[in-house]
Structure 1
Amino acid sequence: MSKEDKGIEWWRRTFQYKTGLGLTSELKAQYESDYSTILNKKQCIQCYKDRDWMLSYSPMIRFMTQRIKQISKDDDLKFDEKIICDVCDNTKSGGYHPDFGILLCQNRLRDKWHLEDTLSHELIHWYDQLKWEVDWLNLKHHACSEIRASNLSGECRFWQEFKRRGGFTFKIAKGQQECVKRRAILSVMGNPNCKDKEHAERIVEEVWESCFNDTRPFEQIYK
């Protein structure tokens, strides 16, 4: 089969899949497998492309990576080896692990600006780990870093929250604080040492004032 014929066949199967006309269960399963592979590859390429752009040009990302290098004991730290893209099976857009680095969920990122906020969030966790040796099973430690990451990363800026919460459901007054608190509670709820939502809310409240007002390594933040 020629390259052109293969292209026509792919489009034929795509049309069948979208409409359901003349598509057997076996062909549908094959198409879903092929489409998933192609989509994952495209997402992966775009994720790494956006990651590299941010590492080179984003003021926020460059600032955080510089601060991390300053306090890291790893003299040969390479961020392109510690920040990887992959498919995630949950609703998070990224994650940080002290032993491995940062995971960017290529299938959960809306665009490169969402990647920037996600990467900023995880870099703040990385900074906190190096600066204070965070015990991630300690709920107060976890809550404090989550508050700082959501507050400092930019993911709770007005426009981001406006889009995320469906327009005018977002309150302008104290919107930043509400967003940060909500996201911190959700994250702490996922900690194995957290009993329930009420437990997470109590822990976040206990550390709220000191952690929300701690803007290190920034002198101040603009909401």
Structure 2
Amino acid sequence: MSAEIPKSQQVTTTPVPTRPEQVELSDEKKASLCAQCDEYKNWMITYSPSVKFMFDQIKNSGGYVSPTKINCEICKDPKLGGFHPDLGIQLCANYIPDKWVLNDTLSHELIHWYDNVRFKVDWMDLKHHACSEIRAASLSGECAIMTEFWKNSGIMRVAKGHQVCVKRRAALSVVGHPKCKDMDHAKDIVDEVFRSCFNDTRPFEMIYR
């Protein structure tokens, strides 16, 4: 990578679907949330087809996902998780409501991990970052519910609804990049690389969800 990545922060962040109300948590509540998150995480590592698939694909690409580098934490900022190539995956126990959201979040971060191993991503390059965010939002399953909403409401075609969701989610992640000026800048970067990155479904054969 061409620039050193600060270890004090996650390189990528997975945004929450809606802005939640931030509340002060007791130490007991924090411990309970982290314990529940760990239970969900361990279940997904053992049983989730998408998570197990990504573990295998990262290994096949020359990487290794250590379970000790997938950590449930209490996050200050509203987000579902994050990825750092040195520190691993962060899962935000206080913002992940159930194990299915954790499954999509973990799958999302594992796609970043795969990209980091397979494509040698320069995370300080906005276009590289945006490309990985597009792929993670599209392939992780996190836009499946939104696509279903658009299909049922008749607002637009299913495929188009998926793309709109992916663009929105990717921009919400890119706007947190230190080189990104604002949301308009994030949207412009996402639009610039969208077609090629969205069409790259590796390591999947296609978008399954």
* 2:26 is equivalent to residue 36 of structure 1: yes
1:68 aligns with 2:64: no
Partner of 1:204: 190
Cα deviations by residue, 1:194-216 (Å, 9 ceiling, x for unpaired): 12222211111111110000000
Report how far residue 222 of structure 1 moved: 2.5
C-alpha separation between the residues in 1 aligned to 2:155 and 2:107? 23
Q: Which structure carries more helix by proportion?
A: 1
Q: 2:86 and 2:205 mapped to 1: Cα distance?
A: 28
Indicate how the Cα distance of structure 1 residues 197 and 132 shifts in structure 2: closer, same or farther if over 3 A, else same. same
In structure 2, the partner of 1:192 is 178
Q: Would the aligned equivalents of 1:43 and 1:107 in 2 still touch at CA under 8 Å?
A: yes
TM-score w.r.t. the length of structure 2 is: 0.81
Task: Spell out structure 1 runs of 4+ moving beyond 6 A.
Answer: none
Higher relative contact order (CA 8 A, sep 6+): 2
Amino acid at match of 1:196: D
In structure 1, the residue matched to 2:43 is 53
Q: Deviations over 1:76-127 (max 9, x none)?
A: x453211011100111100000001000000010100000000000000000
- The count of corresponding residues between Structure 1 and Structure 2 is 185
Separation of aligned partners in 2, 1:175 and 1:113? 21
CA 106–171 in structure 1, closer or farther in 2 if over 3 Å, else same: farther
Kept in 2, the 8 Å contact 1:189–1:196? The answer is yes
Give the structure 2 partner of residue 3 of structure 1: none
Q: Which of the numbers 116, 130, 141 marks the counterpart of 1:154? A: 141
Larger Rg: 1
Is residue 109 from structure 1 mapped to residue 99 from structure 2 by the alignment?
no
Which amino acid is 1:155 matched to? E
Q: Which moved more, 1:137-146 or 1:184-193?
A: 184-193
Provide structure 1 residue ranges, at least 5 long, that are not aligned to the other structure: 1-31
Identical aligned residues as a percent: 53
Q: Over aligned residues, Cα RMSD in angstroms?
A: 2.2
- Among candidates 173, 182, 201, match of residue 215 of structure 1: 201
1:162·1:170 contact (CA, 8 Å) conserved in 2?
A: no
